[in-house]
Structures are given as C-alpha cells and as structure tokens.
Amino acid sequence: MDSSLPVQAYVPEIHPTGLIPFLLLLLGGIACLVVDAATGKEGSRRYLPWIAGGTLLASITCFFLRLVPGEVFLEDTFRADAFGQLASIIILASTFVMTTMGPSLVRRRNLPSGEFYTLILFASLGMTLLAISNELLTAFISLEVFALSLYVLVGIDRRSRKAAEACFKYFVLGAFASAFLVFGIAFLYGAAHTTFLTEMAEVFRQGYVESVGPEGAVTEIPVNTMYVFVGFAFMFVGICFKLSLAPFHMWAPDVYQGGNMPAVMVVATASKVAAFAFLVHLVEALSYWQGFASGAVYIVTAVAVVSMLWGNLAALVQTNFRRMMAFSSVAHSGYMTVGILVLVALPGLMSGAELEAGQLLIRQAVILYMAGYTVMNILAFGVAYYIGGGGHMAAYRGLVYRRPLPAAGMAIAMFSLVGIGFTPPTIGFMGKFYIFKEAVQVGFVGIAVIALLASVISAFYYLNLVVTMFMRAETKPAEAPLAGTPEAPVQVGGELLARVVLVTACVLIFVFGIFPQLFIGLGETLVNGAVR
C-alpha cells in the first residue's frame, strides 16, 4: 500500500462473514413463522423442530468454520474474542437442547408450535449478540430481544395459572431491571462520550476525553468520576437482575417453579451466560478507570458474598426441586461474580502485557465455569423434565429403582454441582478451582474461603437429593399426576435425540472436568484461525 497518500478512502470494517451465524438465526426464526402459517397445526409440529434445531446447529457450525472474525467487527459493534465465541456456542447449545425438548412439550400442553420455535431462535439471536457486543446500545437491544422472547416462552402455556404468574413476575422485574440498565448506560455515555466499550477503555485509560470545539480547538475534558460510578452501579444492578444475583433474585424461584421446564432451562443457563459475558466485557473496559476498583470492589464483593451465602442457605430449606435449583443458580452466579471481582481489581495490581495475560486467565476461568454450569444445569433440568412430577421431591424418592439411568444422570449433575472435595474429575470442580485460584492469587483470600464454605453448605442439599433418589419408596411412589397435566412424566423412549443430548451432557461433565484445557484450547483455535 502507498502510505504517502495524504487522504485514504474510508473503508468500513464489516467482515460480512461474521454476521452469517446471526443472520441464520434471524432467517430461521422467520422461516419458522412462514412454515407455521403455511402448513397448519400438524405440519408445523412435524417440521418446525427440524428447522429450528437445524438452524441452531448450522449457526454453531459457522463458529467452527471460523466465519466469525476473532476481534472487533461490524464497525467495532461486536467483539468476538475467544471468550465471546465460546459463550455464543454455549448459548446456542443450550437453546438447541430446548428445541429437542420442544416436541414433547408442545404436544403435551397443546402449545402453538410456530411461536414456540420462532421465539427460541429469536432468543438465541439476542443472547449470542449480547455475548459478543462491544457497544452499549447494541447490548441493550440484544438484551431486550432475548428478554422479550423469554418472557413469552416462560408463559407460553396460557392455560396454566402458574405459568401466567411466573411470566408476569419475570416480565415486571425484567422490565424494571432493563430501565436500570438504560439509566446506567446514559451516565456512562455522559462520562466517556461514547458507547463503544473499546473506545471507553481507551478514554478511561488516559483519564480525559478529547473534545473538538467549534473552532477546531481540541480541549481535554476530564472524566467525571461520579458519572462513572453512577453508570456502573445502575448497569450492575440491571445485570444482577438478569443473573439473579442476590438481593435481586426475587423472581428466580417463582419463574423456575411456574414456567415450563425447557424455557426455565434456557433462562437458567443461556440467558445467564449471555448477561455474564457482557458483564465481563463491560467490567474489563471500566476497570481501566483509575480508582474504579476502590469503589466497585465493595459493590461486587457485597453482591458475590450475599449471593453465595443466601443462595445456598435458602436452597437448604426448599422442598421443591425447581425452587432448590433457583437458589442454587443464585449461588452459582455468586461464584462467577468472584471472577468479576478479580477482573475489577486486576488493573490496580499490574499493567501492560502482564495485565492482558491476567485478564485472559480470568476470562478462561469464567468461560470454563459457565460451560460447566450450563452442562450441569442442562443435565439436571433435562432429567427433571423427563421424570416429570412438577419438581416435587416425592417424584425423586426411590427413583434409582424405578428409572436407573435418569437417576444416574441426576446424581452426576448433583455431584458436579457440589464441585468441591471429593468430586475432582467433574467440570463443576474445575470451574470453581480455576476461579478461586485466580481470586487467591490476586489476594482475595477471604472471599475464596467464603466461597469454599458456601460450597460446603451446598453439598447438603445437592447430596440430599441423591440420597432421596436412593431411598426405598415405602408407599406407591407416585401420587401419580394425571396424564396431560404439566406434572405428568414424559416417556423418554420415543425421544432418542433427547436421550443422546443428556448422555452427551454426562460425558462432557467428565471430559471437560478431566481435560479443561480442551475447552479453553477450543476457544483459542476458533479465534486464531479466524478468517479476517
């Protein structure tokens, strides 16, 4: 290139191939609507699962074909680093599992299948875009796209009183949270004069904004500390709602209990992975602001500690499996927030290449934890869905004698969810190990100890479920729910795909637990070989 040219034509950096996986999801969703309208009830029930599932698999394949560039693209709007790409793949895998559960749910509850599969695809579009977004407005819109889809999916069973209530609570608190998020974005915009996270990081690193006045005079406006903190605090509260971090977790138990199981599974796994990926990118940008750590560490520590302790203690006394899993997910979000805490503190401790290496390690630890959390929850919720029983603990009494394989799967999930002490070869252990190790290395020994104690508490209720499954049922096990009610068990027999998915989840728990580097290495491979 001739660099002596004084003016170069402006070439927008779009990388159109990077958009293919997301456009696929959008087109797949529209295709579902069209096919639903064209084929009628029976036809759409037959074809839509294949369209939706195929679209999701094709979208995942795009990531493996390295179509998505491993850095910022579409004019800096998206940043698909290894972390973001792995998060997207986790999200798509989770929504794929939901489509495999779809046919039985749609048939049993007589749901409108067109809306069901379309909303799954739109939700996965929103979540993947949020996970890689590098711009606050894009992040907000992506968040709303998936949130609005998930509100409807949770309450799609319109005849169920419980589902209506769960959907209502999810919507009201979700809308409340997104208002917080927008208000926070406004103040960060006021502080940094930009909504792009990479530019924001640059502004915070140098501490002032260069503003060009009307006469072309460049003035340096210092960053307003108050705006940064107000902006972060409000955005953090908004994201805490989405992650069901205590004390903003009130919706979680009700939604988990009232919503249909496949939707709840996606709310518990994919939506949290997306929000968490965004939070990591946001905190990374903000942490360059000198003095950010001094204030933010307290906010983040408080939320993490309260979530870990309250989540686990409240889960101890739950008598419903779904409510127990809700509080368990509060606690797991708390463990992951320890990773955020390290990210906040890191720029105060090191700089340059060392800092980048440290941030990379944290991102890897967090993504490994999120992958583990997703796989474990898919397995737990999947088994619970196919067992039926509406989450009542009675359904699990003596399960191992009635249905040994699902019971074994549930036991594996529970052991992995405990994640300490005697469960080393599981991914739940490795995820926790890496995050706590980073926390200790940065000097948050106290937090790591609290996290370990909280994990010990969690062993009681997870293992309690395992013990329940091994107890002989004295009476006839089922106060058998009537067929056709949401509580009625689903026979796994006809659903080969569902069985394959759950067995895969079991295998992944051990494979990634023994070889965590496989998963992290996958991210590096995706990015470093990416097509520019």
Partner 1 sequence: MEPVFQANLILSTLLFTIGVLGVMWKRNAISLFMSVELMLNAANLAFVTFAFQLGLLSGGILVLFIMTVAAAEAGVGLAIFIALFRVHRHIRVDEQDMLRG
Residues in contact with partner 1 by CB under 8 A are: 137, 140-141, 144, 148, 151-152, 155, 158-162, 164-169, 171-172, 175-176, 178-180, 182-183, 185-187, 189-190, 193-195, 211, 253-254, 257-258, 317-320, 323
Rounded to a whole number of angstroms, the minimum distance from the CB of residue 417 to partner 1 is 19
Rounded to a whole number of angstroms, the minimum distance from the CB of residue 155 to partner 1 is 6
Q: What is the CA radius of gyration of the chain?
A: 23
| Residue 16 DSSP one-character state | G
Rounded to a whole number of angstroms, the minimum distance from the CB of residue 236 to partner 1 is 15
Rounded to a whole number of angstroms, the minimum distance from the CB of residue 3 to partner 1 is 31
3-state secondary structure of 133: strand
3-state secondary structure of 272: helix
> Which residues make Cβ contacts (< 8 Å) with residue 515, sequence separation at least 6?
none
| Residues forming a β-bridge with 392 | 320
Identify the residue whose tokens are 């036991």: 411
Residue 347 or 390: the one with the smaller Cβ distance to partner 1 is 390
Rounded to a whole number of angstroms, the minimum distance from the CB of residue 253 to partner 1 is 7
Rounded to a whole number of angstroms, the minimum distance from the CB of residue 344 to partner 1 is 24
**Phi, psi for residue 218 in degrees, rounded to 5:** -95, 120
Cis ω for the linkage preceding 247 (within 30 of 0) = yes
**Phi, psi for residue 397 in degrees, rounded to 5:** -65, 120
Residue 21 or 238: the one with the smaller Cβ distance to partner 1 is 238
> Which residues make Cβ contacts (< 8 Å) with residue 481, sequence separation at least 6?
388, 389, 390, 487, 488, 489
Residue 391 or 516: the one with the smaller Cβ distance to partner 1 is 391
C-alpha to C-alpha distance for 347 and 364, rounded to whole angstroms:
17
Rounded to a whole number of angstroms, the minimum distance from the CB of residue 316 to partner 1 is 11
Whether the Cβ atoms of residue 266 and residue 355 lie closer than 8 Å to each other: no
C-alpha to C-alpha distance for 489 and 497, rounded to whole angstroms:
17
Residue 6 or 216: the one with the smaller Cβ distance to partner 1 is 216
Residue 227 or 433: the one with the smaller Cβ distance to partner 1 is 227
Instruction: Report how far apart the first and last C-alpha atoms of the chain are (Å, whole number).
Output: 18
Residue 183 or 433: the one with the smaller Cβ distance to partner 1 is 183
Q: Which of 85, 141, 121 shows the shortest CA–CA distance to 363?
A: 85
Residue 168 or 510: the one with the smaller Cβ distance to partner 1 is 168
> Which residues make Cβ contacts (< 8 Å) with residue 126, sequence separation at least 6?
142, 143, 144, 145, 146, 147, 149, 274
Residue 234 or 292: the one with the smaller Cβ distance to partner 1 is 234
- Strand 78-79 versus strand 72-73 pairing type: antiparallel
Residue 186 or 514: the one with the smaller Cβ distance to partner 1 is 186
Rounded to a whole number of angstroms, the minimum distance from the CB of residue 289 to partner 1 is 17
Rounded to a whole number of angstroms, the minimum distance from the CB of residue 190 to partner 1 is 4
Using left for φ > 0, alpha for ψ between -120 and 50, and beta otherwise, residue 57 falls in alpha
